[in-house]
Structure 1
Amino acid sequence: MTHPGTLVLILAVAVLAPLLVHVTGRRVRVPLVIFEIALGILIGPQVLDWAHPDEVVDTLADLGLSMLIFLAGYEIDFAAVRGDTLRRSLWAWPLSLVLGIAMGFLISGGEVFEAFVVGTALTSTALGTVLPMLRDRGQLKGRFGTVVSAFGAVGEFGPVVAMALLLSGRRPAESAALLVAFGAITAVAVFWALRPRPAWFGQLTEQTLHSSAQFAVRFVMLLLACMLGLAEVFGLDVLLGAFAAGVLTRLILHRSVPAVGGEVLGKVEAMGFGFLVPLFYVVTGIEFDLDALFDDPVTLLLVPGFLLLCLLVRGGPVYLLAPKDLSRTDRAALALFASTCLPLVVAITTIGVDQRILGTERAASLVGAAMISVLLLPLLAMRLRAARGGATRDGPRPAPPTVDDSEAW
């Protein structure tokens, strides 16, 4: 059944959410996504029963999820996170995955695919939530910001690859072969993206930047559609294609049109964060199984349990493998930032529920824990660094030569 008022309600909620962030920001900083999901729950079937997603809304929400992962891929600056720091972050994530799957087996009672979903969700990092907080406080460009970017980038890229590999419905060997083939084609695309663009590309981009033609924006959307289609052809999760498209877009814009690349991205972000991404989060709230969360005491108790597991599974390896030049306080803050995990948890549990691998009650517990992580963990991390005075020491303090991120792999 089609409910024509649902889209209007969702967009009204999307407008209301930033207003609430502004009002409450005078006392406490609540992430925008918390309000979007919470308001979605409020207007959904289990509270006010005003909104009922139909096929059109669900399609737009799927596009919102793809745009969210695309923008996550764009955020990763590989040039800034290479070297020893990246190597440490690459070692930390597989360790987190092993711990996460082990915990998933215990929680699921030995259900293999449910263990993969739970374990993968526990290894993710909300880089898009963490980086703006560091940027607003002037800590993104320092040593600590670089380390957070490295560990956060792997915390976003790793789960996306794991989803494509483990949740495709195929045998792992077959999925791995298809993933390698997809990676090979993507590598060719990266090589193409790194080549100089012809002069007309930059000229046309600048000429149409403020006209109805919008060449660069259309080019980015074409690139996203091509990578989504490529992932679909290989039978992989389309989110992998969205992530790869984000990485390619960054390479192309930064090399081809560095002067206006930020403005082009701003237009793409306007479509994503202005329409599609909030729609995905609000629909997530509408479809959130609130009854399952509160009807069963065990499900409710799993919320703080999953939050602790996020700290153990993701934060533990990050703390252990953090660069040696970081103080204990900064290592603890890094672990807290790395354990902040809402967006990909929502994406992973959505896929798990859609494929009937994960029950709605378990998904509700995971999303509830992830919401608390976004509210609580970055705040604790910031207070740790403020108490140590890390914000003022980041700039002038150089990294020791043994962990120089400018060194080649």
Structure 2
Amino acid sequence: MDHSGSLVLIMAAAVLAPLLAYGISRWLAVPLVIFEILLGILLGPDVLGWVHTAEVVDVLSNLGLAMLIFLAGYELEFDRVRGDTLKRSVWAWLIALALGLGIGTLLAHGGGFEKGVYVGTALTSTALGAILPVLRDAGDLGSRFGSVVMAMGALGEFGPIIAMALLLSGRAPGQSAALLAAFAVLTAVAVLWALRPKPPWFSNVIAKTLHSSGQFAVRLVVLLLVSMLALAQVLGLDILLGAFAAGLITRLVLHGAAPEASETVLSKVEAMGFGFLVPLFFVVTGVEFDLEALLSGGRELLLLPLFLLLFLVVRGLPIWLLAPRDLGRRDRSALVLFGSTALPLVVAITTLGVEDGKVDPGEAAALVGAGMLSVLVFPLVGLRLRDRVRAREGGRIGGDESW
């Protein structure tokens, strides 16, 4: 099928996915991303063979991944993740990185430390962009539990991107650190600009074009995103680092210059992201999923449940040990499950590993498959635990002596 036909089928799958999620929600709350990836696998070369990726599809898919990370960066609220919670999140991720690199190297199967870096870094990631909508829909995003998940998840998004820039760039560590420092300085300059008071005309233009064809604020957001992506690319860093930084900067700009319009602008950007680019990325992930390599090899198939367990061990164990002490046992367990949910960065890292010839397609498929299962299973179990906590808290408030 030609490129236009493939794109039509990909978008048809993106439209069908929420219908399937809605239809099955009366029995089971399945994350939308699962249907998007499964439909991609169905349409892809290993099943029906109706869709094949091409340059235009790959470009749009990469933009979708960038938009997903951008929105995750935008959701990060500094005032809710600072202090002791942030320190615990940093240490939890650093311990996870040490565990991941060690276990990844042991599982490298002759590939050595470099292959272990790909596997180990993927094991330290958290799908913040996938779990935030789940928390938002459950009404947990603004709670204490939600703020801790956001802190742990932010490190699970940002930390692996930094590790990729340092360990997977092919440059000497000193050179990589210098480029990261240069990016940090330029990002800090952008943050300072974002924090400066804007002239009255700035907010006036945002307000006057908010519901017109001008859409100044939306165009500014897109400019910030592509500028940070370009800056990261020029410095030889992963574009995901630029996307995350762009999300942080955009939040500061909008909330500082036009707080009354920020939610409306965000809804427009989310419509562009979750309505087009992000689902396209996940459907294409399914199309490119190497199902044949996963099913044809005994070792690769055994690796899938092992990787799923390792998400809990590598990412979850440090979170359990360093979770804030004010969280109860069930909340800590739910925090482990949400923090161990991984997929977008797993896809990005394994794709890079396959392209560089360091990760076998079957192993990459096992990692991505484990990430898919984590997105399907972990948030559902985490929500059940949170429901029990809320029920218990409600019982206490209501004076139910059975609690």
Shorter chain as denominator, the TM-score bin is over 0.9
- Tell me the amino acid that sits aligned with residue 62 of structure 1: N
Q: Name the residue aligned to 1:318.
A: 319
Shift of 1:136: 2.2
- Structure 1: state its 5+ residue gaps: 397-409
Q: Name the residue aligned to 1:79.
A: 79
Q: Deviations over 1:312-334 (max 9, x none)?
A: 00000000001111122211111
Q: Name the residue aligned to 1:402.
A: none
Q: Name the residue aligned to 1:35.
A: 35
User: For 2:12 and 2:369, how far apart are their aligned partners in 1?
Assistant: 23
Partner-residue secondary structure (3-state), 2:80: coil
- Tell me the amino acid that sits aligned with residue 334 of structure 1: L
**Cα distance change of structure 1 residues 353 and 149 upon mapping to structure 2, 3 Å threshold:** same
Q: Deviations over 1:227-253 (max 9, x none)?
A: 111111111111111111111001111
- Tell me the amino acid that sits aligned with residue 60 of structure 1: L
| Residues 246-265 of structure 1 aligned to structure 2 (within 5 Å) | 246-265=247-266
Q: Name the residue aligned to 1:288.
A: 289
Q: Does 1:125 align with 2:126?
A: yes
Q: Deviations over 1:374-402 (max 9, x none)?
A: 11111212222333446746999xxxxxx
| Residues 193-342 of structure 1 aligned to structure 2 (within 5 Å) | 193-342=194-343
**Cα distance change of structure 1 residues 392 and 141 upon mapping to structure 2, 3 Å threshold:** farther
Shift of 1:22: 0.5
Q: TM-score, normalised by structure 1?
A: 0.93
Contact 1:65–1:280 (CA under 8 A) maintained in structure 2: yes
Q: Does 1:63 align with 2:63?
A: yes
Q: Does 1:376 align with 2:377?
A: yes
Contact 1:139–1:394 (CA under 8 A) maintained in structure 2: no
- Tell me the amino acid that sits aligned with residue 268 of structure 1: V
- Structure 2: state its 5+ residue gaps: 398-403
Shift of 1:133: 2.2
Q: Deviations over 1:347-386 (max 9, x none)?
A: 2222222333222111100111011111111121222233
Q: Name the residue aligned to 2:349.
A: 348
User: For 1:375 and 1:107, how far apart are their aligned partners in 2?
Assistant: 25
User: For 1:378 and 1:290, how far apart are their aligned partners in 2?
Assistant: 24
Partner-residue secondary structure (3-state), 1:108: coil
Q: Does 1:156 align with 2:157?
A: yes
Q: Does 1:177 align with 2:168?
A: no
Q: Does 1:5 align with 2:5?
A: yes
Q: Does 1:45 align with 2:45?
A: yes
> 264-273 vs 201-210, which deviates more?
264-273
User: For 1:106 and 1:286, how far apart are their aligned partners in 2?
Assistant: 30
Matched residue pairs, number? 396
- Tell me the amino acid that sits aligned with residue 101 of structure 1: L
Partner-residue secondary structure (3-state), 1:197: coil
Contact 1:2–1:54 (CA under 8 A) maintained in structure 2: no
Percent same amino acid among aligned pairs?
62
User: For 1:339 and 1:277, how far apart are their aligned partners in 2?
Assistant: 21
- Tell me the amino acid that sits aligned with residue 94 of structure 2: P
**Cα distance change of structure 1 residues 199 and 133 upon mapping to structure 2, 3 Å threshold:** same
Shift of 1:120: 1.0
User: For 2:61 and 2:133, how far apart are their aligned partners in 1?
Assistant: 24
**Cα distance change of structure 1 residues 391 and 50 upon mapping to structure 2, 3 Å threshold:** farther
> 207-216 vs 112-121, which deviates more?
112-121
Partner-residue secondary structure (3-state), 1:23: helix
> 149-158 vs 13-22, which deviates more?
149-158
Contact 1:144–1:330 (CA under 8 A) maintained in structure 2: yes
User: For 1:184 and 1:108, how far apart are their aligned partners in 2?
Assistant: 36
Q: Name the residue aligned to 1:407.
A: none
User: For 2:355 and 2:74, how far apart are their aligned partners in 1?
Assistant: 27
User: For 2:68 and 2:357, how far apart are their aligned partners in 1?
Assistant: 23
| Residues 99-118 of structure 1 aligned to structure 2 (within 5 Å) | 99-109=99-109, 110-118=111-119
User: For 2:206 and 2:229, how far apart are their aligned partners in 1?
Assistant: 23
**Cα distance change of structure 1 residues 390 and 164 upon mapping to structure 2, 3 Å threshold:** farther
- Tell me the amino acid that sits aligned with residue 365 of structure 2: A
Contact 2:149–2:338 (CA under 8 A) maintained in structure 1: yes
Shift of 1:2: 4.6
Shift of 1:134: 2.3
Q: TM-score, normalised by structure 2?
A: 0.95
Contact 1:143–1:395 (CA under 8 A) maintained in structure 2: no
- Tell me the amino acid that sits aligned with residue 46 of structure 1: D
Contact 1:341–1:374 (CA under 8 A) maintained in structure 2: yes
User: For 1:63 and 1:133, how far apart are their aligned partners in 2?
Assistant: 23
User: For 1:39 and 1:391, how far apart are their aligned partners in 2?
Assistant: 39
**Cα distance change of structure 1 residues 144 and 393 upon mapping to structure 2, 3 Å threshold:** farther
**Cα distance change of structure 1 residues 227 and 391 upon mapping to structure 2, 3 Å threshold:** farther
Q: Deviations over 1:117-151 (max 9, x none)?
A: 11111111112222222222222222212211111
> 352-361 vs 191-200, which deviates more?
352-361
User: For 2:67 and 2:290, how far apart are their aligned partners in 1?
Assistant: 24
Contact 2:69–2:129 (CA under 8 A) maintained in structure 1: no
- Tell me the amino acid that sits aligned with residue 312 of structure 1: V
